[in-house]
């Protein structure tokens, strides 16, 4: 297997909770941003149920976790972060969430969306993948296709000036069906720096760092590099279609100037 080298000009990471994007594809995001891509992060919830003490004020916790996520996003280099403020632990792939995600996609207009693999219910047969991760993954996929590109889906948005948008690729992370590996040797330290920003969630950072280094090294070994992140890649519109669309645009532009 070889390192995956395709790079989106614009990409959006859709995550259930603050810190998912940093445990997930942060090193890939940092690598792409360093190479000139523009990235945007969408957090469906603000992680208001992510504490051990039942006396924790969920609103204070949400505000803290949003601050932590914004700090982490600055380390990775995202152009911005949107919080949808859905309830932590109760995320549902319904029309309300889909409309929010379609609005984000039609506004930012990414070539690729990165989201949790919703089919990975029992990771490595060693636990249950959080219901919010599965809901966010399915919601992202359903927002990407067909909703965001269908001008008859959420027509009020279209009338409001947000045109339909074709996302061409889905990169599913935390997957049990990895099809591509991205060489993140140069940015795995940035992923760790981003993770460090989530102080409220990480009691033993040394253990986290050890685990992240082991995982990325394991994946890296599969393509002969020091560190990698892996994805289940769904190509909705391949590069041939992209070329055709570009040619059509060029034709249209040359026609309008004639
Ligand atoms: Zn999570």
Domain parsing of the chain, residue ranges: 10-257
pLDDT band at 257 (very low <50, low <70, confident <90, very high): very low
User: How many A from CA of 109 to the centre of ligand 1?
Assistant: 25
User: How many A from CA of 17 to the centre of ligand 1?
Assistant: 5
Residues less than 5 Å from ion ligand 1, measured at CB: 17, 20
Residue 125 has pLDDT above 50, yes or no: yes
Q: Which residues contact 85 (CB under 8 A, 6 or more apart)?
A: 45, 46, 62
User: How many A from CA of 204 to the centre of ligand 1?
Assistant: 17
- Predicted confidence at residue 242, as pLDDT, reads 59
User: How many A from CA of 180 to the centre of ligand 1?
Assistant: 22
User: How many A from CA of 132 to the centre of ligand 1?
Assistant: 7
Quick: pLDDT tens for 170-208: 999 999 999 999 999 999 999 999 999 999 999 899 999
User: How many A from CA of 256 to the centre of ligand 1?
Assistant: 48
User: How many A from CA of 20 to the centre of ligand 1?
Assistant: 5
Section 112-128 average pLDDT: 96
Q: List Cα–Cα distances, 11 to 69, 223, 242, 255, in angstroms.
A: 18, 24, 16, 30
Place of tokens 């001008």: 151
User: How many A from CA of 61 to the centre of ligand 1?
Assistant: 15
Quick: pLDDT tens for 192-248: 999 999 999 998 999 999 999 999 999 999 999 999 999 999 999 987 755 555 555
User: How many A from CA of 211 to the centre of ligand 1?
Assistant: 17
Quick: pLDDT tens for 12-48: 999 999 999 999 999 999 999 999 999 999 999 999 9
User: How many A from CA of 136 to the centre of ligand 1?
Assistant: 10
Tell me how many degrees the CA angle 109-113-115 measures, rounded to the nearest 5.
145
pLDDT band at 50 (very low <50, low <70, confident <90, very high): confident
User: How many A from CA of 253 to the centre of ligand 1?
Assistant: 45
User: How many A from CA of 147 to the centre of ligand 1?
Assistant: 25
Backbone angles phi, psi at 81, to 5 degrees: -130, 135
User: How many A from CA of 133 to the centre of ligand 1?
Assistant: 6
pTM over 0.85: yes
Q: How far is CA 183 from the centre of its chain?
A: 17
Query: What architecture does CATH give domain 10-257?
Result: 3-Layer(aba) Sandwich (3.40)
């Amino acid at each position: 297997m070889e390192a995956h080298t395709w790079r989106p000009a614009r990409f959006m990471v859709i995550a259930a909770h603050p810190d998912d994007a940093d445990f997930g594809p942060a090193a890939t995001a940092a690598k792409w941003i360093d190479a000139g891509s523009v990235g945007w992060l969408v957090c469906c919830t603000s992680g208001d149920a992510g504490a051990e003490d039942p006396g924790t004020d969920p609103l204070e916790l949400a505000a803290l976790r949003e601050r932590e996520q914004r700090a982490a996003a600055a380390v990775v280099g995202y152009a911005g972060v949107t919080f949808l403020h859905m309830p932590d632990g109760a995320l549902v792939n319904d029309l309300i969430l889909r409309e929010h995600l379609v609005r984000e996609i039609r506004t930012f207009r990414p070539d690729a969306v990165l989201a949790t693999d919703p089919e990975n219910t029992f990771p490595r047969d060693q636990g249950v993948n959080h219901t919010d991760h599965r809901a966010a993954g399915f919601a992202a996929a359903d927002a990407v296709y067909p909703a965001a590109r269908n001008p008859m889906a959420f027509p009020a948005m279209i009338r409001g000036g947000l045109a339909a948008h074709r996302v061409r690729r889905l990169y599913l992370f935390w997957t049990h069906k990895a099809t591509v590996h991205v060489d993140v040797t140069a940015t795995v330290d940035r992923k760790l720096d981003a993770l460090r920003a989530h102080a409220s969630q990480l009691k033993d950072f040394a253990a986290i760092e050890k685990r992240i280094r082991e995982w990325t090294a394991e994946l890296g070994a599969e393509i002969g590099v020091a560190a990698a992140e892996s994805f289940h890649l769904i190509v909705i519109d391949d590069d041939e279609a992209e070329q055709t669309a570009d040619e059509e645009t060029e034709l249209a532009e040359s026609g309008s100037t004639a």
